[in-house]
Amino acid sequence: MKTGFAKICINPPYGAPISGYYEERLTKGILDSLYTRAVAFDDGKKKAVVIAVDLCTLAQKYYDAFKKAICEAIDIDKDAIFINCSHTHTGPIVGKDFASERHSTEAYDAFLISCVRDAAVYAFADMKESKFGTAKAQAKNISFVRRYRMKDGSVATNPGVNNPEIDHALGTPNETVKLVKIEREGGENIFIVNFGTHSDCVGGEYISADYIGYVCDILESAVPNTKCIFLLGAQGDVNHVNVNPTKGESAISKIDFDSVPRSIKHAEHMGRIIAGAVLSVCSITEEVKADEISFASKRIDLPSHQENHRLEEAKKIHDLYEAGRTDELPFKEMALTTAVAEARRILKLQNGPESFPFYLSAVKIGDLVFAGIGGEPFTEIGNRICDASPFEETILCCLTNTAGGYIPTTQAYSEGGYEARSSSLKPGGDDIMVKGMTELLNELK
């Protein structure tokens, strides 16, 4: 097996709109650069490429455009192209924004497509004979399920730090960091790091790759002759907010959009913890067979979350919000964001569609598999897929190869919270997704 690595800077122009929130943010500078990174694989018969892009989300047409451009430049099957978004909330809008009418320029879109294509081309030009190893470690106390049962019985997402009304969190974060270490003859080694927590620690109007940029930078600095790529795991219900913060945590952040504490310092802190976890195991990885490449994809259809019986209520909330009359609504901060997102979802889906297509992807490298699902699945969905996987080493990635919003667990719909109320998918989507991905992985085994 030969592998190659490349990365290309994809910073947006000054003034470009930033993706992630329900408020306008225009780029005022660069805290740290955004990249697209690619790891290429070639077993002598087949090729595959795993790509990470420092962007919040991508519409389906961009995944398709990236794949088309790569297929035109390289002799590769489109199902062997695995593209993962980092979900940074301090990156540019690409295409039309999910929360507004803002959009990127055609020039930036064209530039981005060439960057992703070129990263793949350069990675395939960097091929070296390779040996694979894997390891797992724990990154403790930096990830938190952000949905809480409140003392009044309700469920709230991001209810605010030190909120006395919080009773308990509705779930447990997955603190496992997965490492695939590729040692290359005569070339730089490659670390593939996989972890699932929202990359939304920074906020503001300055571009940043969030904690993910720090993970890569720290590892590349700490381990000589090493390049790093980060693949985001399931994280729909998990972020960095400790609602009972230590004094140290409070000292490095300030309250930002939706009453969430954020800062570049916190991203650095997260990056250090995750990189530290990787460093704790990177010298003792277990060799994994990586002889042949295979890949597959599968379409599943997840039912649409229409609620036309609530159209009137939704229209009222939406209109008041758009008119800037939020003081007439009985919501504030995250509760307001939740109500508005839910209203938009109800209005958007009033005339269909009945279901949404999702493309599940799997790229197998010997005994290792990269499993990709679209959207932002809850942690539990990721755990269920990994548990059901016939592979010992399953790198589960969200926001991969297909567009989509939150994918909550069925239980979350009855509980409430921002993700379930705003999701375009009906309850039951989690089971369809787990079943579909399990079938796909079994086909590859």
Partner 1 sequence: MFKAGFYEVDITPPLYMNMAGYPQIRLAETVLDNLYARAAVFEQCGTKVAILSVDMCSLQKSEYDDILDRIEQYTDIKRENVLACADHTHKGYPYFTVNAQDEKIRALREIFVCRAADCVILANQKLEDVKVKYGEESESTVARNRDYLMKDGTTRTNPGRLNPDIVKNVGNIDPSLPVLFFETEDGNPKGAVFSYACHQDCVGLEKGYSGDYASLISKKMKKQFGDDFVCIFLLGCCGDINHVDVTRDFIDKQYREIADKLFPKIISAIENSEEIKNPDLKNIKEPLHIEYFNADEKTLEDRIKVYTDMKNWYWIRDMINLYLKDKSEGVELNVQCIKIGDCLIYAVPGEVFVDFQLEIKKNSPTERNIFASLANGSSGYIPTPEVFNNLYSYEAIPRGYAQDTGVRVKEKIMEIAKKIF
Give me the residues that bind partner 1 (CB under 8 A), please.
8-9, 11, 13-15, 29-30, 73, 105-108, 110-111, 114-115, 117-118, 121-122, 125
Residue 192 to residue 190: CA distance in whole angstroms: 6
The full 3-state SS of 282-323, as one line of letters, equals CCCCEEECCCCEEEEEEEEEEEECCCHHHHHHHHHHHHHHHC
| Shortest distance (Å) from residue 8 CB to partner 1 | 7
CB of 77 or CB of 118, closer to partner 1: 118
| Shortest distance (Å) from residue 202 CB to partner 1 | 17
CB of 49 or CB of 139, closer to partner 1: 49
Cα-flanking dihedrals φ and ψ of residue 117, to 5°? -60, -50
| Shortest distance (Å) from residue 108 CB to partner 1 | 7
Torsion angle (degrees, nearest 10) of CA 405, 341, 410, 298: -20
CB of 37 or CB of 384, closer to partner 1: 37
| Shortest distance (Å) from residue 34 CB to partner 1 | 11
CB of 216 or CB of 434, closer to partner 1: 216
CB of 114 or CB of 263, closer to partner 1: 114
| Shortest distance (Å) from residue 227 CB to partner 1 | 15
Cα-flanking dihedrals φ and ψ of residue 408, to 5°? -80, 165
| Shortest distance (Å) from residue 103 CB to partner 1 | 15
- Three-class SS state of 265: helix
Instruction: Identify whether the C-beta of residue 381 lies closer than 8 Å to the C-beta of residue 430.
Output: yes
Tokens of 61: 């047409």
Instruction: Identify whether the C-beta of residue 421 lies closer than 8 Å to the C-beta of residue 341.
Output: yes
Residue 128 to residue 3: CA distance in whole angstroms: 5
CB of 108 or CB of 359, closer to partner 1: 108
Instruction: Identify whether the C-beta of residue 233 lies closer than 8 Å to the C-beta of residue 194.
Output: yes
Helix (H) or strand (E) holding 181: strand 176-184
- Three-class SS state of 279: helix
Chain centroid to Cα 282, Å, comes to: 23
CB of 107 or CB of 284, closer to partner 1: 107
Residue 265: exposure state from Cβ atoms within 10 A (0-12, 13-18, ≥19)? middle
CB of 75 or CB of 327, closer to partner 1: 75
Residue 73 to residue 38: CA distance in whole angstroms: 15
Mark residue 42 as left, alpha or beta (left: phi above 0; alpha: psi -120 to 50; beta: remaining): beta
| Shortest distance (Å) from residue 29 CB to partner 1 | 5
CB of 220 or CB of 301, closer to partner 1: 220
| Shortest distance (Å) from residue 118 CB to partner 1 | 5
| Shortest distance (Å) from residue 218 CB to partner 1 | 14
| Shortest distance (Å) from residue 113 CB to partner 1 | 9
Cα-flanking dihedrals φ and ψ of residue 12, to 5°? -80, 165
CB of 16 or CB of 395, closer to partner 1: 16
Eight-state DSSP code of residue 349: T
